Structure 1
Amino acid sequence: MAFASLRRLAAAALMAAAFSASAGAADAPQPDRTVDMAKLLQPGDLKELTIGDPGGVAVVEYASLTCPHCAVFSKETLPQLKKDYIDTGKVRYVFREFSRNTLDVAAFVLARCLGDDKAFAADELLFAQQDKWAFVDKPLEPLIAAMRSTGMTKDQATQCLNNQKLADGVVAVAKRANDEVKLTGTPTFVIDGKVYGGELTFDQMKAILDPLVKK
């Protein structure tokens, strides 16, 4: 009887472990729709903000600097995505500026004024400090202040914000996204031609990417 009881306990423990493992693994979310990935990856008016091996699986994120969910993804999910997929050459991550309002345009323009090679890092900085500038009554001054750590002076920022050509380029990115992807919100991700609206956790990203990077 004692041996049989031990067997039952062992079986129960194995079942519990199996259930725990399956519960911890996220299922890949269902995409909202599909798009022509080759067409989507064609260059636009502004230089692409991208990190990772050009031969990796393309992950395109459309994000707004005033979007709280985008900031959460930037701070909580992207670092792990970089470590496991981007830095290892499995993924090419493409960040596209989706302006929801004039403050987004101003923030993206300031980041771009540092140079295309530094713009993505500046966007990450603005996400990290989003609560200091994005949700205040007079956001322009704190936005400019947030850029000071990049070396940008107030005079340089003021001059940058008068760059209409650059502002038009930022707006064009959002217009193209609306035309090609039919965005309903931010963040929105496009992976392997599939459109996923809303913030994705790392486990959800992993569930989407693993079948693709293992091909």
Structure 2
Amino acid sequence: MNQTRRAFLGTSAAVGSGAIAGCLGGDDPSEPSESPAEDDPEPPEPPVIGDPEADVTVVVYEDFACPACQAFKLNVFPALGEQYLEPGSVRYEHRDFPVIGSSWSWELPSAAREVFETEGDNAFWAFTSRVYEHQGSYSYEIVEDIADEVGADGADVREAAEEDRHRSAIEAQRSYGRANGISGTPTVVVDGDPVEFYDSETQTFSEMAFEETADAIDAALE
């Protein structure tokens, strides 16, 4: 076990201590009963970090209203970044998969998509990491302020959230996930194989998720 994994597993997670179950999909009253994206699950280009040309691809499906996704993004993602993304060992993709019956499950992806399409990958990853810190107290003001902080047009990003501007792109991503067997968040897929997450009596969710994800990546890199 390398130093990064020892350090991560040897400390208490800042977010997500204790058992946090993932968020399972169900009937979402904010989603149309029929979506044109269901007929064509091909998703839009995803935000990418790491080496875009790496042999190993990690895809993470998230819902901004899911507490387990917050724990994964704020605790696990930075550790994966240090171990795999900074060295360029993997290609890491974000995909939206709204499962919570909250307007933020759709509006925040629209805001993040606007940041991505106007400012690129780096701004997207900075925006999403910062906005997760405010889960439970999301507001359009927070969206605008963080967008400004990462170099985007805050007022325009806020408007994208308020107008649900990128709804069709989010629907296409959700349809793509469903077509590939995704039913909840966070779901991590390493080279086409989903990583198994479980409730642990001895580890926090973040510790378990990091260990399982790192094991899957290490196996794929062999």
- The CA distance in 1 between the partners of 2:153 and 2:47, in whole Å, is 23
Deviation at 1:157, TM superposition (A): 3.7
Q: In structure 1, what is the equivalent of residue 84 of structure 2?
A: 85
Structure 1 match to 2:108: 107
Distance 1:204 1:161 in 2: 33
- Supply the distance in 2 between the matched residues of 1:158 and 1:143 (Cα, whole angstroms): 6
Tell me what 2:54 maps to: 55
Deviation of 1:164 after TM superposition, in Å, equals 5.9
Q: Aligned residue for 1:125?
A: 130
* Unmatched runs of 5 consecutive residues or more in structure 2: 1-5, 10-40, 198-204
| Residue 205 of structure 1 pairs with residue 216 of structure 2 | no
**SS state at 1:46 partner:** coil
Provide the residue aligned with 1:172 in structure 2: 172
Q: Is the 8 A contact 1:186 1:197 kept in 2?
A: no
Looking at structure 2, the residues matched to 91 and 152 of structure 1 have their Cα atoms a distance apart, in angstroms, of 27
Preserved CA contact (<8 Å) 1:56 1:89: no
State the distance in 2 between where 1:201 and 1:150 align: 28
Q: Once superposed, what is the RMSD of the aligned Cα atoms? A: 2.8
Q: Deviations over 1:12-35 (max 9, x none)?
A: xxxxxxxxx9xx8xxxxxxxxxxx
Alignment partners' CA distance in 2, 1:203 and 1:141 = 36
Say whether 1:65 aligns with 2:64.
yes
* TM norm structure 1: 0.66
1:54-79 per-position Cα deviation (integer Å, ceiling 9, x unaligned): 22311110001111111111111111
Q: Higher Cα Rg: structure 1 or 2?
A: 1
Aligned-residue offset at 1:213 = 0.9
Give the match's secondary structure for 1:115. Answer: helix
For this pair of structures, how many residues does the alignment match? 168
Q: 1:159 to 1:212 in 2, by over 3 A?
A: closer
Q: Percent identity?
A: 22
Which sections of structure 1, spanning at least 5 residues, go unmatched?
1-20, 25-42, 134-138
Shift of 1:163: 5.6
* Residue 142 (structure 1) shift: 4.3
Residue type of the alignment partner of 2:108: A
Aligned CA distance change for structure 1 residues 93 and 153 (closer, same or farther; 3 Å): closer
SS in 1 for 2:168: helix
1:157 and 1:77 map into 2 onto residues whose CA distance is 26
SS of the counterpart of 1:201? Answer: helix
Q: 1:78 & 1:167 partners in 2: Cα distance?
A: 25
Task: Return 156-165 or 105-114, whichever deviates more.
Answer: 156-165
